[in-house]
Chain A
């Protein structure tokens, strides 16, 4: 099925460990996004990539890095995980020529940092 695929679905890290969340889309979308979802906070934008080769900070970028590997893939890296990064992470994509059509979301990665 076409869409946005995120891996892994679940992850437990110890404080200070690093990991990379993977995201891939097969809809030929130009723009990709990483959000985190926390109770009572809604979704907050971490980083986004308007097109292949570009990345920009969102609302809450501290503690994260991203790589737009190619048009399909956009990864999120935690270099030194902290308990405050316990959250559900969502990747999304959109076609910038269809900005009025909203985004397609992945099913999320549930990350716990202990």
Chain B
């Protein structure tokens, strides 16, 4: 079956530090890949996505590149802010029959950024 593995947290950084959260996936076929962010007490929000190999998704200073050869979609940001403190989920979407798509999530990585 499909699965997503992301680095376990928690991750604690100082403001303006460089962030990498690793994500690898297993899937039959060619999934679309996503990063979602969950701020404290809220639901999940789509942060960025990539739908085919070598695509780069970007948003709010975050980037991730779809690497088919290494089945990876690592999240990066050059300079984190306190407001980036949240839980980050890597996910993949595959067609599960007909035109239906299901998301498979990693377990999430808690990021805390200190001033």
**Known A40-B107, A42-B108: A102·B93 in contact at CB below 8 Å:** yes
Binding site for A on B (CB under 8 A): 32, 34, 36, 42-46, 49, 51, 89, 91, 93, 95, 97-103, 105-108
The answer to whether A108 and B43 touch across the interface, beta carbons within 8 angstroms, is: yes
Whether the pair A100, B49 counts as a contact (CB closer than 8 A) is yes
| Chain A min CB distance to B92 (Å) | 10
Q: Is the CB of B105 within 8 A of A50?
A: no
**Contact among A40, A45, A48, A102 for B49, CB-based, below 8 A:** A102
Chain A: which residue is nearest B46 at the CB level?
A102
Nearest residue (CB) in B for A6 is B43
Complex Cα gap A105–B100 (Å)? 17
Chain A residues with Cβ below 8 Å from B100 are 31, 48, 50-51, 96, 99
Q: Which residues of A contact B105 (CB under 8 A)?
A: 42-43
Task: Number of A interface residues at 8 Å Cβ cutoff, please give it.
Answer: 27
The chain A residue with its CB closest to the CB of B108 is A42
Assuming A42-B108, A43-B89, A50-B98, is B103 touching A102 (CB within 8 A)? yes
- Answer whether residue A25 sits at the interface, using C-beta atoms and an 8 A cutoff: no
- CA gap between A40 and B6 in the complex, in Å: 12
Asked whether A42 lies within 8 Å of B44 as measured between CB atoms, the reply is no
Whether A90 pairs with B101 at a CB distance below 8 angstroms is no
Residue of A41, A45, A90, A100 touching B102 (CB-CB under 8 A): A45
A96 contacts B101, CB within 8 Å? yes
In chain A, positions 90-114 with a C-beta closer than 8 Å to chain B are: 90, 92, 94, 96-97, 99-108
Contacting residues, chain B, for A104 (C-beta < 8 A): 46
The distance in angstroms between the C-alpha atoms of A103 and B103, with both chains bound, is 8
Q: How far is the CB of B21 from chain A (nearest CB, A)?
A: 14
Cross-chain contact B43 with A102 (CB below 8 angstroms): no
Residue numbers in A under 8 Å from B43 (CB-CB): 4, 90, 105-108
By beta carbon, the residue of chain B nearest A50 is B100
